[in-house]
Amino acid sequence: MSVATKVTRTQPWLESLGDWAWPGRAAAAEGLQLPPSWVSAFPPRLEPAGASLPSSSPVPARGGSVQRRRLLLATLLSALAAVCCALAAHVAGGLGGVVSLGLPGRPVVAAASTAVGPPLPTLIPVSRDSSGSSIDRASFTSVALGGAGSFFVYLPPGYASTTRRYPVIYLLHGRQGHAQAFLEIGIQQALDRLIARRAIPPMIAVMMQDRITLDNWKDVGRRHSAKYVVEVQQLIDRMLPTIATRAGRAIAGSSMGGFGAMHVGLANPYIFSVVESWLGFFNNLDGELHADAPILARFGLHAFLYGAAADPVAEPAQDPAFAAKLHAAGAQAEGAIYPGGHSLGKTRAHLEAMMLFAGRSLVAAQRRAAAEASSRPRHA
């Protein structure tokens, strides 16, 4: 019996290298494979703190009262605090100059940020391969989830011996899936190969773990999985030497994670410059895309969406159709339908091509941002 191709079928399970499994069908879902156990603690790589304030400061006139000096000091501290708050709000969007452009905007799905963030989680080494890249893992108490959050990090070859800053791609797993799935299908080896032949620049990949639930990457009740993605992004920018701008960030996902990547990317148009959806769907995202149109027309967006012709879970025709909508809104978007069905095997078959698209798109986004920055008039 064929499966109907209605929108209601877009409820994917993507948790193994085999075919998809549907609740209640003959092919029952297998138990989830847990991530590997942790090893001894390893301190995260931290960037040096910003330059300290100048030590020189105005000296009160001789004979001035203590009250006058205190008043002057309080005034200076208040002004400094106001500047810091403004800078924090300015940087939170991940795109310098956005606030002053006067573009039509809207609230974004973002975790609450403060000038002084929570303690940083510790990166713990999991593995290192012969090419010199490594996989680390971290866990933390997530405000957005109201509980434990965790993620794996791919650090490229040469990471520990350079002072460069890296673009980052954030990866979202499928429904009731796990972050380790990206390691199972060879994300580390694919990135190693592309970097070794200089097809893409060295980059960091973050594979985050949502709760084991049927509604990944959505804000449902007290569990804010969409805000959790931005919470992790903000942590990564504090922990690692990233290119901490819109042009340095990509987001992608498989199956339900493909929906999540597009949802979070469109809900945060000032944070991500590249979005990819693999075997995903786009239910109820037209409103977000419509609201983003002025932003995409101004800053652009690189997007790649693909489905599978025999996919009984996510309607493949949605991919080129939604890509066309993105293109009409100002994005550089491509949509494709490949042979095959809904499985991690399909994701693995196209993984290297998707990392190539992400890496090259990030380079293009950074060049565009640099060109626009150099063309802005400089004020004396």
Q: φ and ψ at 79, to 5 degrees?
A: -65, -40
Residue pair 251/272 in contact by the 8 Å Cβ criterion? yes
Q: Where are the beta strands (DSSP E) in the chain?
A: 124-128, 134-142, 147-155, 168-172, 204-209, 219-220, 223-224, 249-254, 274-278, 302-308, 332-338
Q: φ and ψ at 104, to 5 degrees?
A: -60, 130
Judgement on whether residues 151 and 262 belong to the same structural domain of the protein: yes
Could you list the residue range(s) of the whole structural domain that residue 318 is in? 107-375
Among candidate residues 110, 108, 112, the one with its CA nearest the CA of residue 267:
108
Judgement on whether residues 79 and 157 belong to the same structural domain of the protein: no
**The model's pTM:** 0.73
* Side chain identity, residue 369: A
Judgement on whether residues 76 and 159 belong to the same structural domain of the protein: no
Q: Is residue 291 a part of any domain in this protein? A: yes
Judgement on whether residues 76 and 161 belong to the same structural domain of the protein: no
Q: φ and ψ at 137, to 5 degrees?
A: -140, 150
Judgement on whether residues 228 and 321 belong to the same structural domain of the protein: yes
Domain at 228, CATH number: 3.40.50.1820
Pinpoint the alpha helices (H) of 240-317: 256-267, 286-299
Burial class of residue 56 in the structure, from the number of CB atoms within 10 Å of its CB (0-12 exposed, 13-18 middle, 19+ buried): exposed
pLDDT tens track, the chain, 380 positions: 333 333 333 333 344 433 333 222 233 333 323 333 322 222 333 333 333 333 333 333 334 444 444 445 444 544 444 444 444 444 444 443 333 233 344 444 444 343 456 689 999 999 999 999 999 999 999 999 999 999 999 999 999 888 899 999 999 998 878 999 999 999 999 999 999 999 999 999 999 999 877 778 888 888 888 999 999 999 999 999 999 999 999 999 999 999 999 999 999 999 999 999 999 999 999 999 999 999 999 999 999 999 999 999 899 999 999 999 999 999 999 999 999 999 999 999 999 999 999 999 999 999 999 999 888 877 64
Q: Is residue 9 a part of any domain in this protein? A: no
Judgement on whether residues 81 and 224 belong to the same structural domain of the protein: no
Structural domain count, the chain? 2
Structure tokens at 162: 């350079």
Q: Is residue 4 a part of any domain in this protein? A: no
